[in-house]
Structure 1
Amino acid sequence: MADLVLVEQFQIVTDPVADSVAVSAIFAVLPLLTLFLLLGVFRVRAWLAGVISLVVALIVAITVYSMPVGQALLSASEGAAFGFFPILWIVINAIWVYNLTVVSGHFDVLRRSMERVSPDMRIQAIIVAFCFGALLEALAGFGTPVAVTVVMLMALGFPPIRAACVALIANTAPVAFGALATPIVTLGTVTSGAAGDPRLNTDTLGAMVGRQTPVLAIVVPLVLVAVVDGRRGVRQTWPAAVVAGLVFAVGQFVASNYISVPLTDIVASLAAAAAVVLLLRFWQPSETPELAGPRSPDTPPMSTAEARLTSSSPTPPASSSSGDVAVVRRDAPAEVVRAYAPYLIIIVIFAIANLGPVKEALAAEPWTVVFKWPGLDVLGANGKPLASTNFTFGWLPAAGTLMIIAGVLTAVVLRIRPGAALRAYGRTYVELRQPIVTVMAVLALAYVLNQSGQTNTLGAFLATAGSVFVFLSSILGWIGVAVTGSDTSSNALFGALQVQTAAKAGLDPVLLAAANSSGGVLGKMVSPQNLAIAAGAVGMAGREGDIFRKVVLWSAVLLLFMCVLVTLQATPVLDWMVPAS
C-alpha cells in the first residue's frame, strides 16, 4: 500500500520540458489556447469547448507533466465538484428565485417600477447592471450578479445578447470586493508573511485595490451606455454615467481605506444608486429612444424562459423617440413592495449570515465540513501538500443554500403554491443543463491546470520579465480569472507568486499583489463559466461564442487601462498612491 501511495503521489514541476520554463509554457498554454480559439474563432458551443479543452489539459498533464492518470482524473473530478458546489449551486438557486417572480407575475411589476424611475434603457443599464449588480456582488458574488441582472435587463426590453454583454461588463469594478471582500481576504491570507513585508494583510491590500478599481469604476458606466446605444448614448446620458461612476469610485475608495474592506461594495453600490436616482429628479436625457428593437435574424428561437418573460411583459415602454406615449399601468403599492421583496430578502439573509458571530459559527462543523479529496495526493513545487486538494463543503452557509432559504421565503411572500415553486425549480435545472456542463468542465480544466503545474509554468514564464513584470502583473490576474471565473481563485493561485516576483525584481509587493486582483476582475466577462451563466440565463445556451466576441475587446481595452495604471503607480508619477504602511 505504501508503494502504491508513492507511485500515485505527484509533485508539481514547473519546467518539465528540457528544464526550461519557456519551452514548458508552450505546452502549458495549449489548453487555454484551445478554449479561447474554440469559443472565439470556431464558435463551438461552450460546453463542448470546455470538455475538449479539459481533454487537452489532461493529455498535457499526463504526457508532459508526468502526472499519474489517476491523479489527473481525480483532480478533474474535484474541479467538477467545485464547479457545481458552490458555484452552480449559487447560480441555479439565484435564477430559481428570479423564476418565482416570473411565475407570480411580480417581475413585470418590478420592470414597471424601474421604468417609472427612468424609461430610458441606458439609465436602466446603469441602475440595474452597475448599481444593483454591484450590491449583489457585494453580498453573494460567484456569478450571482450576472445571473440575476441579465434576466432583469431582458425583462426591461433588452435584446438577449445585449443584456448579457451589459451584465458581464458591469460585473467588473465591484468584483475584487465581492462576497464581502472574499478575494481580498484570500489574497491577504496567501501573501501574509511573504517577502517579509508587514503591509501584506487584508486591510492594506484592500486599501491598495481601493486605489485601483475605483479608477476603473469611473469608466465602466460610460462603457455600458456605449454598448447600449453607441456614441449617442454617451452623448445624451453621460451625466448619469459619470455621477454613477464617480460616486461609486469615491465610495469604494473611502470604504476600503477608512471604513471596512468587507463593506466596500455595499457602501459604494448604495451610494451610486442613490446618487443616480437623485440626479434624475433634476435632469433627464434629451430623448428616450426605443432601443429594444426587433429580434435580429441570427437570434435563435425563444427559449421557455424568454417566452415566459415575453408573455409576462406586455406593457410597452413609457415613451419613444417618435414621441408616442403609451399608458403605463400603475401597480398597487403592496404589489410593488412584493416585487422588490425577493431582493430585500436576499440582502437581509446574506447580511445576517455574514455577521461576525454568525459567520464564525456557520464556518465550523457541522455546518461546514472540510475534507481531503479522496485519493488525490498532490504536492506543490515546494514539496508541501496543495491546499486545493482539501474540499470545503459548507452546506448551510453556502450562498446557494442561502438562496434556497430566500426562495422559500419569496414563495411565501409572493403567495406561490409549493407545487408551482417546485416545478419552477425543476425547470431551472432543465433550462441550465448546458451551462451546468460548461461550468463543471471549465472548473475541472482549471483544477487540472493548477494541480498539474501548468498554471505555475505560465506564471513563472511571465515572472521572467523582471521589472517589466509590473506591466504584466495585471495580465496574470486576468488569466487566473479568465480560467477559473473567480477573483478569489486567481488570488489564491497567483498572489504569492506576485509577491515573490516583486521581491526578486525590486518592485513593491503590495502593488503587484493588488494588481493581481484588480487586473483579474477584467477577466470575469470572458470567463467561460460566466459566459455560460449569462447565455443560459437569457435562454441562449450555445451562443456563448457570440457574447465572447462582443465583450473580449472591452476586456482587453480595460485590461490595458489597468496595466498602464499599475505601471504608473510603480513610478514617481503615481507611487504616492501605494500605501506606505
Structure 2
Amino acid sequence: MLLFFAILPIIWLIVALSGLKMAAWKACPVALLLSLLASVMYFGMPIDYMASAVLEGTALACWPILLIITATIYTYHLSVYTGGMEIIKAMLTSVSSDYRVLILLIAFGFGGFLEGMAGFGTAVAIPASMLAGMGINPVSAVAVCLVANFVPSAYGSIGIPLVTLSGIMGTDSAQLATYVALQISFLGVFCPFLMVGIAGGGLQAIKDMVPVCIAAGLSYVMAQLVVSYYMGPELAGVAGALATMSAIIGAVKYFPPKDTSYVLQRELVPQVSQIQAFMAWLPFILIFILLLLTSKLVPTIYDSISQIRTSVLIYKGEGGAPYTFHWVATPGMVIFFATFVSGFIKRTPLGDMLVVLRKTMVSLRPTFITIISIIATAKVMGYSGMTTTIADHTVAATGLMYPAIAAFIGSVGGFITGSATSTCILLGKLQMDAALAIGAPLNTQIWIAAANATGACAGKLIAPQSIAIGVAAIGVSGKGSESQLLGMTMKVYLPFIMLLGLMVYFGTSML
C-alpha cells in the first residue's frame, strides 16, 4: 500500500500529461498536492516538516533553476530584438539550406554547447526557439532538442551533476565521468539519426544524411569520452559539442545531402560582415568566457565569488542541510550580466532591455508554476521517504539483478526533477547503498552510480519540467503541446531505458 501512495504523484503526472492531455502547469500542482497528502497521511511526515520541504523545493526552483531559465531565454529574446539572432541564423543556414543539417548543427551542436556551459534547460529553450524561428515545426523543434539533450545533460553546467555525485560517493570524478561517457556512447551515436527521423517524418529523411549523422554522433561521444578520461567531467560536454559542430560542417562539405525536399524556403539573406557576425555572437561569446572564468576551472575567481553567499537551514527535519544561495557564482547571474553587457556594447537602450525582460518573465509564468511545483514535489517525496520506498521495493524485487534497473531508477529521478544534478542529489546515495547491498566492488559501485546519471538523461526526455521549458520557448504553453511532446519522447525513452539497463547489467561483468 505504501508503494502505491509513494508512486501516486508519478502515476498522476503520466496519466494527466499523456492520457488527459493536461497542460503541465495545471498537472504539476496536483502532483504536489498528492505528494503532500501522501507524505502526511501515509508516511507520517509532520506538517511543519512538509511545509519546510516545499519551501526548500521552491527555493531550489527559483535559485538557480528559474533564474538560469529566465536569463537564457531573455538572452535569446534580446538577441531577437536587436537583430542578432537573424544574423546567427543566416550564418548557420549558410552551412546548408537543408533543415536536417541545421537541426543537427543547432540542436545537437550548439545545444550541447549551451548544456555544457549553463545547463538547466538552456539546451532546449534556445535551440528550439531558433529552429522554430527558421520555420521548422515548433513541436518537432522541441522534440529534437529533447533527444539531442540526452548526450550532454549528464555533464550539465561545467560537470556539476557528476562532480556532485562523485562528492556524494567520495570517488574520483574522472572515473565516474568516463563510465558515464561509455554508457552514453552507444545510444549517443544514434541520437542524430533519431533527430533527423523525427524532424523529417520518417526513415526516408535519414537516407542521404547517414555520413553527417555518423560524423555528428561519433565525434560527440568520442570527444566526451577522451576528455572525461584525461580531464574529468568539467569540459567534457563542451568539448563534445565543439567537436560535433566541426564534424557536421566538415561532413556537409564532403558529403552534402542531395534531397531538395528538405531545403528551407527563405528569402535571400544578405552577406554578413565579420563585425556583424561578432556582434551577433557577442552575448554567447561573453557567456562562454564568463562562465569559464567563474567556474571551478579558475579557482582564484571561483573561490572569491563563492564567498558571496547565504546559507539557510530551510528543511527542519532529519537529513536537512543548510541551503546555500550563491548570489554571484551561479550561471544565471553570469548569463544576465553577459547579456546586459553585450546589450550596452551594442548600444541598446536600457529601457528597451528592461521591456524585453518584462515580456520574457510574463511569457514564462506557466513555466514558473510547473517547475516550482515539480521541484517541491521532489523534495517532499525525498524527505518523506516516498522516493526511498520506491527504490527499496525495487531492490527487494530484483536482488542481484539490480544493475539492470539502476538506470531506470535514475530515469525516475530525471522524470520527477527534470535535472541530472537534482537526480544525483536525490538518488545518488540510494544507488550507492543498493550497490553495497548486493556486494558490488568499488568499480561496479561507480558503474551503477554512472547509470543513475545516464538514466536521468533518459528521464529528462519525458520530464514535465523539460517539456515545459521547451513549449515556453516556442510560445505554446497550455495549448496541448505538452501531451503531444510526451507521446513523441516516450517512444524514444522506452527503448533507450531498456537498452541502458542491458548495457549497465552486462557491463558489470566486464569491469
**TM-score, scaled relative to structure 2:** 0.95
Q: Is 2:392 the partner of 1:454? A: no
Query: C-alpha deviations, 1:211-265, integer Å up to 9, x for none?
Result: 2112222111111111111212211211111101001111111111123321111
Question: What is the correspondence of 1:436-455 to structure 2 with a 5 Å cutoff?
Answer: 436-455=368-387
Q: Report the counterpart of residue 431 of structure 2 in structure 1.
A: 498
In the TM superposition, residue 72 of structure 1 has moved relative to its aligned partner by 1.1
Q: Choose from 446, 449, 471 the match for 2:404.
A: 471
Q: Report the counterpart of residue 531 of structure 1 in structure 2.
A: 467
SS at match of 1:117: coil
Question: What is the correspondence of 1:367-516 to structure 2 with a 5 Å cutoff?
Answer: 367-373=308-314, 376-379=315-318, 385-387=319-321, 390-464=322-396, 465-507=398-440, 508-516=444-452
Query: C-alpha deviations, 1:341-366, integer Å up to 9, x for none?
Result: 221111111111112221222222xx
SS at match of 2:329: coil
Q: Which amino acid aligns with 1:330?
A: Q
Query: C-alpha deviations, 1:196-215, integer Å up to 9, x for none?
Result: xxxx3312212211221122
Distance 1:392 1:235 in 2: 51
Query: C-alpha deviations, 1:41-81, integer Å up to 9, x for none?
Result: 10111111011111110000110011112221221122122
Q: Report the counterpart of residue 192 of structure 2 in structure 1.
A: 221
Contact 1:236 1:286 in 2 (8 A): yes
Question: What is the correspondence of 1:143-222 to structure 2 with a 5 Å cutoff?
Answer: 143-192=121-170, 200-222=171-193
Distance 1:412 1:402 in 2: 15
Q: Report the counterpart of residue 497 of structure 2 in structure 1.
A: 559
SS at match of 1:378: coil
Q: Which amino acid aligns with 1:287?
A: D
Distance 2:219 2:272 in 1: 31
Question: What is the correspondence of 1:54-453 to structure 2 with a 5 Å cutoff?
Answer: 54-192=32-170, 200-229=171-200, 230-290=202-262, 316-317=265-266, 327-354=268-295, 355-364=298-307, 367-373=308-314, 376-379=315-318, 385-387=319-321, 390-453=322-385
Distance 2:467 2:342 in 1: 27
**Gap runs ≥5 in structure 2:** none
Whichever structure has more helix as a proportion of its residues is 2
> Taking every aligned residue pair, what percent have the same amino acid on both sides?
27
In the TM superposition, residue 491 of structure 1 has moved relative to its aligned partner by 1.3
In the TM superposition, residue 291 of structure 1 has moved relative to its aligned partner by 6.9
Q: Which amino acid aligns with 2:86?
A: D
In the TM superposition, residue 505 of structure 1 has moved relative to its aligned partner by 1.6
SS at match of 2:155: helix
Query: C-alpha deviations, 1:388-409, integer Å up to 9, x for none?
Result: xx22201111111111101112
Distance 1:223 1:411 in 2: 37
In the TM superposition, residue 290 of structure 1 has moved relative to its aligned partner by 4.0
Q: Report the counterpart of residue 519 of structure 1 in structure 2.
A: 455
Contact 1:57 1:448 in 2 (8 A): yes
In the TM superposition, residue 332 of structure 1 has moved relative to its aligned partner by 3.0
SS at match of 2:270: coil
SS at match of 1:392: strand
Q: Report the counterpart of residue 477 of structure 2 in structure 1.
A: 541
In the TM superposition, residue 156 of structure 1 has moved relative to its aligned partner by 2.0
Q: Report the counterpart of residue 299 of structure 1 in structure 2.
A: none
In the TM superposition, residue 490 of structure 1 has moved relative to its aligned partner by 1.1
Contact 2:313 2:320 in 1 (8 A): no
Q: Which amino acid aligns with 2:78?
A: L
SS at match of 2:323: strand
Contact 1:108 1:155 in 2 (8 A): no
Q: Which amino acid aligns with 1:235?
A: K
How many residues end up aligned between the 2 structures?
A: 502
Query: C-alpha deviations, 1:247-288, integer Å up to 9, x for none?
Result: 111111111112332111121111111111122222200123
Q: Which amino acid aligns with 1:214?
A: S
Query: C-alpha deviations, 1:283-326, integer Å up to 9, x for none?
Result: 2001232477xxxxxxxxxxxxxxxxxxxxxxx43xxxxxxxx6
Q: Report the counterpart of residue 11 of structure 1 in structure 2.
A: none
Distance 2:260 2:343 in 1: 35
Distance 2:63 2:356 in 1: 20
In the TM superposition, residue 329 of structure 1 has moved relative to its aligned partner by 2.5
In the TM superposition, residue 429 of structure 1 has moved relative to its aligned partner by 0.7
Contact 2:52 2:316 in 1 (8 A): no
SS at match of 2:94: helix
Q: Judge which range, 539-548 or 237-246, deviates more.
A: 539-548
Distance 1:120 1:441 in 2: 40
Contact 2:100 2:262 in 1 (8 A): no
Q: Which amino acid aligns with 2:317?
A: V
Distance 1:401 1:77 in 2: 22
Contact 1:119 1:288 in 2 (8 A): no
**Gap runs ≥5 in structure 1:** 1-22, 193-199, 293-315, 318-325, 380-384
Contact 1:158 1:291 in 2 (8 A): no
SS at match of 2:408: helix
Contact 1:341 1:413 in 2 (8 A): no
Distance 1:70 1:291 in 2: 59
Q: Is 2:500 the partner of 1:568? A: no
SS at match of 1:370: strand
Contact 2:227 2:235 in 1 (8 A): yes
**TM-score, scaled relative to structure 1:** 0.84
Distance 1:505 1:120 in 2: 51
Query: C-alpha deviations, 1:147-194, integer Å up to 9, x for none?
Result: 2111111122211111111111111111111211111111111112xx
